[in-house]
Structure 1
Amino acid sequence: MKRLSPSSVPFTFYLAAAVAIGPLSTDMYLPTFPQLAEYFSASAAEVQLTLSIFTFGIGGCQLVYGPLTDRFGRKPVIVVGLVIYLLASLACVVAVNIDQLVISRFFQALGACAAIVVPRAMVRDLFAREQAARQLSRMGTIMGLAPAIAPVLGGYIAAFYGWQSVFFVLGLAAFILALVTIMLVDESHLAKDPNALRPSHILRNYMSLIRHREFLGYALTGGLCFGGLFSFISGSPLVLIEVLGVRADNFGYFFGMVVLGYMSGTLLGPKMTQMKGLSASVGVGTGICAVGGISMVAAGWAGLNTIPAVVGPMIIYTVGMGVVLPQSQAGAMAPFPEKAGSASALMGFMMLGFAAFLGFLVAYFYDGTQFAMVYAIGLMGIGSVAIYLLTVRGSTEEMWDES
């Protein structure tokens, strides 16, 4: 059977599908939140914990997967991760209380984490910085189809077959991806680091990344932009369904509009990078995020408690995020070809760990209005611009002076 060539479209689809396991695991079951609360007799905060624990798990586990991929290679790590994800998905199906579902979601995150870290590291293995940015943008465009369709599909699957069927479908997707990886994908990391798992080596690697101005600036900028999206992911089932009266089986259509904004940004990003350069395109993207976030806050202050007043500004926000995320990921990993796995992992930990904490705060401060979510998104848009101006604009590939 013919192997996938790194320059081929099918290989790009494979990478995008692997990374999409993460957003699928969050977006596909969002419409089931009311079902989960009723089935387990759980509060909104308890149900939301199944989302936050998943994101915390992905963020934290990346710190482990990075060195593992640098030591053993990309292929065996992603296969093991997908098998863990499959087993955890089946555990979600048979959960009998909310605590069991929360624990199963953590193990789902443990497996999904490999599918997020490894493809980014493979891109760094196979492509130079500007090419990597274009590849990550193409992956983002393709991957964007998953969260655009996922809430709609999840809503209908849950309506007809129950919330358990959503997790069964997710497990099936992981099984198919594992087979494709084993049969069609070659190892991309040939210069394996035998010292990658030594604690002192891991600490030294991560400390060198944190001290690197370019890495830290791009990672923080992308992390704040993603924090705004996760605030929407966390708060939108409550705001759209409970506050604004959207039916659960229609929720996915509005969520899909937001995802289409992200896809538009991923198409715009490579063209902007080609014309203006990677750093400048990130700056433009953060500006668009800020416009979207500020517009949403202003609409709330004006008393516009309508679906367009929430979804419209969020579409603008995600256009900017679609520009920022792929370019910032490429910019953060570019200086580190010898430890791309660790760079990918630390960047993911920073982004997802912060996003999970922010998502928990949005649910915790939810008061029956849209304002907890709206304020978080507005702050993330403004914050991403500030971090960009302080760290990324005019940055060099030099380490910060340790003194």
Structure 2
Amino acid sequence: MKRLAPSSIPFTLYLAAAVALGPLSTDMYLPTFPQLAAFFSASAAEVQLTLSIFTFGIGGCQLIYGPLTDRYGRKSIIVGGLFIYVVASVACLFAVQIDQLVILRFIQALGVCAAIVVPRAMVRDLFAREQAAQQLSRMGTIMGLAPAIAPVLGGYIAAFYGWQSVFFVLGLASFIVGMVTVLFVDESLAVKNLNALRPSHIARNYLDLIRHREFLGYALTGGLCFGGLFSFISGSPLVLIDVLGVRADNFGYFFGIVVLGYMSGTLLGPKMTRAKGLSFSVGIGTIICALGGGSMVVAALAGFNTLTAIIVPMIVYTVGMGVVLPQSQAGAMAPFPDKAGSASALMGFLMLGFAALLGFLIAYFYDQTQFSMVYAIGLMGLSSAAIFRLTAHNAPTEGWKED
């Protein structure tokens, strides 16, 4: 049976589809928040916890999957993770209490986490620095279609068939990706690290990564930048539907418009990287994020409580994030060819663990206005720009594999 060649478009599509299961699992069910609150007789904060626990689960589980994939290879780990995700998705159909759904969402995160860690590690296995950044950007462009379409699709599916049908579709998508992995994808890890699961080795690996200025700088920059997007993901169902009066089945269209900004950024990022270098493109991206987030705060403080005052600055922010995220992922992992799985995992933990905390705080401080969401987005944009210039800007590039 013919395998997918790493340089081929189908292989890029496969990687993007696998990673997209993560955002699909958050974005597709966002329009169902009002249904979930009514079905479970739950508060907005309790419903939002199903999102935060999922994100926190992905972040924490990455620390486990990193060493696992370095020890046992990429393919077996992603297949096992997708199996867990399918089982948890089916179980979500039968939840009768909000606490049950929260637990099942955590189990979903345990499974889908493999589909997030492994593809990034595979890219580091197969491509050199600049090629890796370009591949991650191409994946981001394709993957951007998922959050653009997912809320619209989820809104209509839930409207016609109920919130449970969304989880059925997610389980089916995961099953298809798993079958493609089994039938058409080769193992990408050339040499398995036999010491990868030793506690002392794991601790030393993560300590080395945290001490590495370049890794920490790029990881924190990408994490803060993503925090702004997750603030929008977490807060927008409340702000757009409850505060601004957007219909639940129309929510996905506004979310999709914002995602188009991210896709534009993923197209722009590789061009800047080829022309000016990776550090330059990340720096420009963080400035764009700061401008988008800052302008949203200014508009809110000036009393502009409108869709335009939220959506337009958020589009600007996501253009910057589309530039920053793939390039910062490539920059963080590039110096570590021997522990790409651990580097990918720690970067994901920092990014998603922080995002989960932000999501919880936004729901906790939600006061029937847009301010908790807006302040978080503005802070993340400004912080990402500041952290990059304090850490990764002009950082040494030792250890990068040459093209």
CA distance in 1, matches of 2:200, 2:217: 25
Q: Which residue of 2 aligns with 1:374?
A: 374
Instruction: Map 1:65-84 to 2 at 5 A.
Output: 65-84=65-84
Q: Which residue of 1 aligns with 2:89?
A: 89
Q: Which residue of 2 aligns with 1:177?
A: 177
Task: Give the Å deviation of 1:190.
Answer: 1.9
Read off the aligned partner of 1:341 and give its amino acid letter. Answer: G
Read off the aligned partner of 1:107 and give its amino acid letter. Answer: I
Q: Which residue of 1 aligns with 2:53?
A: 53
The C-alpha deviation readout for 1:306-365, integer Å capped at 9, x for no partner, is 101101100000000000000000000000000000000000000000010011101110
Asked if 1 retains the 8 angstrom alpha-carbon contact of 2:335 and 2:398, the reply is: no
Read off the aligned partner of 1:183 and give its amino acid letter. Answer: L
Asked if 1 retains the 8 angstrom alpha-carbon contact of 2:226 and 2:321, the reply is: yes
CA distance in 2, matches of 1:21, 1:105: 13
CA distance in 1, matches of 2:340, 2:6: 17
Query: How high is the sequence identity, in percent, across the aligned residues?
Result: 81
Task: Give the Å deviation of 1:268.
Answer: 0.2
Q: Which residue of 2 aligns with 1:142?
A: 142
The C-alpha deviation readout for 1:152-183, integer Å capped at 9, x for no partner, is 00000000000000000000001101100000
Q: Does 1:340 align with 2:340?
A: yes
Q: Which residue of 1 aligns with 2:388?
A: 388
Q: TM-score, normalised by structure 2?
A: 0.98
CA distance in 2, matches of 1:215, 1:45: 34
Instruction: Map 1:269-308 to 2 at 5 A.
Output: 269-308=269-308
CA distance in 2, matches of 1:90, 1:170: 9
Q: Which residue of 2 aligns with 1:110?
A: 110
CA distance in 1, matches of 2:256, 2:162: 21
Q: Which residue of 1 aligns with 2:219?
A: 219
Read off the aligned partner of 1:314 and give its amino acid letter. Answer: M
Q: Which residue of 1 aligns with 2:362?
A: 362
The C-alpha deviation readout for 1:338-397, integer Å capped at 9, x for no partner, is 000000000000000001001110111000000000000000000001101100111113
CA distance in 2, matches of 1:18, 1:105: 18
Task: Give the Å deviation of 1:91.
Answer: 1.1
Asked if 2 retains the 8 angstrom alpha-carbon contact of 1:213 and 1:397, the reply is: no
Read off the aligned partner of 2:136 and give its amino acid letter. Answer: L
The C-alpha deviation readout for 1:201-251, integer Å capped at 9, x for no partner, is 000000000000000000000000000000000000000000000000000
Read off the aligned partner of 1:17 and give its amino acid letter. Answer: A
CA distance in 2, matches of 1:47, 1:92: 14
CA distance in 2, matches of 1:357, 1:75: 31
Read off the aligned partner of 2:393 and give its amino acid letter. Answer: R
Q: TM-score, normalised by structure 1?
A: 0.98
Read off the aligned partner of 1:118 and give its amino acid letter. Answer: V
Read off the aligned partner of 2:92 and give its amino acid letter. Answer: C
Read off the aligned partner of 1:180 and give its amino acid letter. Answer: V
Asked if 2 retains the 8 angstrom alpha-carbon contact of 1:213 and 1:398, the reply is: no
- Structure 1 alignment gaps of length 5 or more: none
Task: Give the Å deviation of 1:398.
Answer: 5.9
Q: Which residue of 2 aligns with 1:247?
A: 247
Read off the aligned partner of 2:123 and give its amino acid letter. Answer: V
Read off the aligned partner of 1:137 and give its amino acid letter. Answer: S
Q: Which residue of 2 aligns with 1:25?
A: 25
CA distance in 2, matches of 1:368, 1:39: 21
Asked if 1 retains the 8 angstrom alpha-carbon contact of 2:58 and 2:109, the reply is: yes
Asked if 2 retains the 8 angstrom alpha-carbon contact of 1:226 and 1:321, the reply is: yes
- Secondary structure of the structure 2 residue equivalent to 1:392: coil
Read off the aligned partner of 2:58 and give its amino acid letter. Answer: I
Asked if 1 retains the 8 angstrom alpha-carbon contact of 2:52 and 2:359, the reply is: yes
CA distance in 2, matches of 1:10, 1:285: 28
**Runs (4+) off by over 6 Å:** none
- Structure 2 alignment gaps of length 5 or more: none
CA distance in 1, matches of 2:122, 2:69: 10
Read off the aligned partner of 1:349 and give its amino acid letter. Answer: F
The C-alpha deviation readout for 1:16-63, integer Å capped at 9, x for no partner, is 000000000000000000000000000000000000000000000000
CA distance in 2, matches of 1:112, 1:362: 24
Q: What is the RMSD computed on CA atoms of the aligned residues?
A: 0.7
CA distance in 2, matches of 1:364, 1:314: 22
CA distance in 2, matches of 1:17, 1:67: 23
Q: Which residue of 1 aligns with 2:233?
A: 233
Asked if 1 retains the 8 angstrom alpha-carbon contact of 2:69 and 2:118, the reply is: yes
CA distance in 1, matches of 2:113, 2:366: 28
Instruction: Map 1:176-195 to 2 at 5 A.
Output: 176-195=176-195
Read off the aligned partner of 2:159 and give its amino acid letter. Answer: A
